[in-house]
Chain A
Amino acid sequence: MKTYILVGQPNSGKTTLYNWLTGSNYKTVNYPGSTIEYYIGKAKNQNIQFVDTPGTYSLMPRSPDEKVTYEILFESKICSDFEVLLVVDGLQLERQLILAKQLKESLIPFQIIVTMGDLIKSQGQVIKTQEMSDYFKCTVTEFNGQSGLGLDAIIKKLNQESVKCESKKIQWTFLDFQRAKSDIGLQINKWVEGHATKSAIERTRKIDKWLLGPFGLVIFFGIMTLLFSSLFWFSSPFSDGIESFFNLIGGRLETQFPDSFWAEFLSKGLMSSFSAVLVFVPQILFLFLGLGFLESSGYLPRAAALIDHPMKKIGLGGRSFVPLLSGFACAVPAIMATRNISSARDRWVTLFIIPLMSCSARLPVYGLLLSFLYPDKSFLKGLSMAVIYLMAMVIGGLASYVLSTFLPSNKDHFFMMELPIYRKPKWGLLVRQALSKTKSYVLRAGPIIICLAVVLWFALQFPRIENKAPNLGDSYAGQLGQFMEPVFKPMGVDWRVGVGLITAFAAREVFVSSMAVTFKVTEDESKQESELLSAMNQAKWDDGKPIFTWGSVLGLIFFFMVALQCMTTVAMQIRESGSGKFAWGQVVIFNLIAYIGAVAINQTYSFLFQ
């Protein structure tokens, strides 16, 4: 099978072209360095495969993501018979075509694809592909990533026959760069017809005067607060709808089969577990939509530049911002995004603090606990959610500061980030990508929720006494929970919450479904108490004091903010840091701090207010 490798500088449009060629729906965003791993996809009805690679400025790699591209081209990481599709930004030809010179010297066969056709046209210019083709002795095609114009021409020029590629590594000096740049500089006027009547960058500069001006940091914090607060505000009606739907189905099942073990299992075990987690899916969808909007508009690299100076105070740089922000969606891609950080020291510190960023799996937990603290006050819930996210950043900042003081500083790190042109996000694509991520979230968490709900339900229903469920304390789950209760009691929670905390190590959101199962079973004598929140409100210790107080709930929130419970994250940390000690050390440190913090918060509250 013939392989085409898409190579180009960061943000030149490789992933957009890859999506058009393969019919994929990979994330295309408007900031440099978004692709950090390679992807392979096949063309429809053709014996051709395409490889999307991380952006590289030259064929001599300087960062881990550039090394990925280098290994594909020079160390036959995928195959040895390939051709390169060099993707160059039409607005940056003079600089980006230096890669064409390097490919030529490396003896790698290539074609050139010139992107950003819409912006070139808007500047009143025309690219003369034939002249460029004559100079480089290769095929040159223009392509518009927005409309797909030029795709047919690219496909027509693809050769299905494999050609052995005998690539040769190169090492350029300053002089070589200078020579290549001046050669291309001499030709550029032959390749681009017409003078730019208006610069495509002009509008961007005007917007930047505001967004990066004296109030830039205020606007930045405003945008972040709005993003995280709005999760509650926008999603409330959808969450209410989902909850009503499940209540309706569950109620009907129990009315239809009043004494059935299986109907009760379906209604109070399985469906309440699902309902407890699914009501938070709209919030997760809005989180992905918000992050997607920031990514595709071109604001993210600006935010990284704005935050660079404050981040230096905690021992990091602006390049750590995008991985850390991605960590609010999921730690796994965020850990991979650290490959874009040139400094090894900054990369280690960023890897260390990413799990502290509140990922989407924590959202259902915070949602439940905040609903307990502020029943029917979605404005306060929204603001508190923003405070939780801010606190996660503060804790991450403190951890980074402490860690940075122990690690030697290095001089080789740089920020140097190209700022892309602002572009209107494509809402259709944004919604599709957010829906696809939300779907994969549900599919990932769903099986775990079902398995644990089944196990927990049976652990609560057995051993059977005269064919009836035992008292809660006598069930297997109850016996185990009571055995472990001394560990959880200082946090101000009983064994039922303890069971939830243990099951959360499978997936954080399982905490909510576990609570739904254990508390609904406990209080199933009364219909009014079937709601998890009212069950939590009514839960009491033996001496009649409430279990859920501000102290214990704030302690739980702190526990979830800090604890490292996600095993996929641990596996990814081992892979990216190359150190099991680093990853397992994190598990021990974070979970210990989370536990001690939760105990301290609860005990302080009890001392002051009870």
Chain B
Amino acid sequence: MKIEHVYTIKKIRNTPGREHIAVRLMDLGLIEGVRFCFLQRLPLGGIWIVSAGALYIALRDEEIGEVDFE
């Protein structure tokens, strides 16, 4: 995952047991075709700060893991 590189969402996985994450990503507008970029990672391998249009959001690794992007 490169900082400031623009990625496009291919698909939101709907992993069994993690449906809540998929649905919340969708609520936030992170769906197929949306372009986003990683802005920075918090210290000690913490959360990612992601920007998608006007959306400015903090996401965990496992939450990003539910997003297929290219």
Q: Which of B14, B17, B28 contacts A416 (CB 8 A)?
A: B28
Smallest CB gap from B27: residue in A: A57
The contact string, 1 if C-beta is below 8 Å from chain A, for chain B 10-44, is 00101001111101111111011000000110111
A283 to B28, CA, bound (A): 40
Smallest CB gap from B60: residue in A: A415
In the complex, are the beta carbons of A342 and B20 less than 8 A apart? yes
In the complex, are the beta carbons of B44 and A217 less than 8 A apart? yes
Contacts A62-B24, A412-B21, A416-B21 given; indicate if A178 touches B53 (C-beta within 8 A). Answer: no
Taking residues whose C-beta sits less than 8 angstroms from the other chain, chain A's interface range is 35 or more
A438 to B31, CA, bound (A): 46
Contacts A308-B47, A309-B47 given; indicate if A208 touches B40 (C-beta within 8 A). Answer: yes
In the complex, are the beta carbons of A415 and B63 less than 8 A apart? yes
Q: Which of A57, A94, A301 contacts B24 (CB 8 A)?
A: A57
Q: Which of B19, B27, B42 contacts A412 (CB 8 A)?
A: B19
The contact string, 1 if C-beta is below 8 Å from chain B, for chain A 206-229, is 001100111111000000000000
Min CB distance, A252 to chain B, in Å? 58
Contacts A305-B46, A308-B46, A309-B47 given; indicate if A416 touches B25 (C-beta within 8 A). Answer: yes
A217 to B47, CA, bound (A): 12
Contacts A208-B40, A217-B43 given; indicate if A418 touches B21 (C-beta within 8 A). Answer: no
The residues of B that contact A212 with a CB separation of less than 8 Å are 40, 42, 49
A318 within 8 A of B: yes
Min CB distance, B31 to chain A, in Å? 6
In the complex, are the beta carbons of A216 and B25 less than 8 A apart? no
In the complex, are the beta carbons of A414 and B53 less than 8 A apart? no
* Interface positions of A from 95 to 127, Cβ below 8 Å from B: 95, 98
In the complex, are the beta carbons of B23 and A62 less than 8 A apart? yes
Q: Which of A178, A181, A413, A415 contacts B47 (CB 8 A)?
A: A415
The residues of A that contact B49 with a CB separation of less than 8 Å are 208, 212, 305, 419
The residues of A that contact B6 with a CB separation of less than 8 Å are none
Q: Find the residue from B28, B42, B55, B63 having the highest chain A CB count within 10 A.
A: B42
* Interface positions of A from 404 to 433, Cβ below 8 Å from B: 411-419, 421
Smallest CB gap from A199: residue in B: B54
In the complex, are the beta carbons of B55 and A209 less than 8 A apart? no
In the complex, are the beta carbons of A94 and B29 less than 8 A apart? yes
Smallest CB gap from B31: residue in A: A178
The residues of A that contact B45 with a CB separation of less than 8 Å are 309
Min CB distance, B33 to chain A, in Å? 8
A91 within 8 A of B: yes
A308 to B40, CA, bound (A): 15
In the complex, are the beta carbons of B25 and A305 less than 8 A apart? no
Min CB distance, A542 to chain B, in Å? 56
Report whether over half of chain B's contact residues are helix, strand or loop; otherwise say mixed.
mixed
The residues of A that contact B19 with a CB separation of less than 8 Å are 412
A215 to B43, CA, bound (A): 7
A113 to B53, CA, bound (A): 21
Q: Which of B20, B31, B44 contacts A62 (CB 8 A)?
A: B20
Q: Which of A205, A305, A342 contacts B58 (CB 8 A)?
A: A305
A414 to B60, CA, bound (A): 8
A589 to B48, CA, bound (A): 38
A39 within 8 A of B: no
Q: Which of B20, B31, B40, B57 contacts A418 (CB 8 A)?
A: B57
The residues of A that contact B55 with a CB separation of less than 8 Å are 92, 95, 418
A310 within 8 A of B: yes
The residues of A that contact B12 with a CB separation of less than 8 Å are 174
Smallest CB gap from A91: residue in B: B54
The residues of B that contact A92 with a CB separation of less than 8 Å are 54-55
A371 within 8 A of B: no
The residues of A that contact B27 with a CB separation of less than 8 Å are 57-58, 62, 177
A306 within 8 A of B: yes
In the complex, are the beta carbons of A213 and B20 less than 8 A apart? no
In the complex, are the beta carbons of A412 and B18 less than 8 A apart? yes
Min CB distance, A376 to chain B, in Å? 39
A204 within 8 A of B: yes
A305 to B58, CA, bound (A): 7
Smallest CB gap from A302: residue in B: B58
A305 to B25, CA, bound (A): 17
In the complex, are the beta carbons of A214 and B47 less than 8 A apart? no
A301 to B59, CA, bound (A): 12
A149 to B20, CA, bound (A): 38
Min CB distance, B2 to chain A, in Å? 17
In the complex, are the beta carbons of A309 and B42 less than 8 A apart? yes
In the complex, are the beta carbons of B58 and A213 less than 8 A apart? no
* Interface positions of A from 243 to 269, Cβ below 8 Å from B: none
A413 to B66, CA, bound (A): 13
In the complex, are the beta carbons of A174 and B57 less than 8 A apart? no
User: Which of B's residues lie within 8 Å of A, judged by CB?
Assistant: 12, 14, 17-21, 23-29, 31-32, 39-40, 42-47, 49, 51, 53-60, 63
User: Which of A's residues lie within 8 Å of B, judged by CB?
Assistant: 57-58, 60, 62, 91-92, 94-95, 98, 174, 177-178, 181, 201, 204-205, 208-209, 212-217, 301-302, 305-306, 308-310, 318, 342, 411-419, 421
A-B contact pairs, 16 of them (CB 8 A): A62-B27, A95-B55, A174-B12, A177-B31, A178-B31, A212-B40, A214-B43, A301-B58, A305-B42, A305-B58, A306-B47, A310-B44, A416-B25, A417-B57, A418-B56, A419-B56
Query: 9 shortest A-B CB distances, which residue pairs?
Result: A57-B27, A309-B46, A95-B29, A305-B58, A412-B20, A411-B17, A305-B47, A415-B60, A414-B21
Contacts A418-B58, A419-B58 given; 20 further ones with Cβ under 8 A? A94-B29, A94-B53, A95-B28, A174-B12, A174-B31, A181-B29, A181-B31, A205-B39, A209-B40, A212-B49, A302-B58, A305-B49, A308-B46, A318-B47, A412-B19, A412-B21, A416-B63, A417-B57, A419-B49, A419-B56
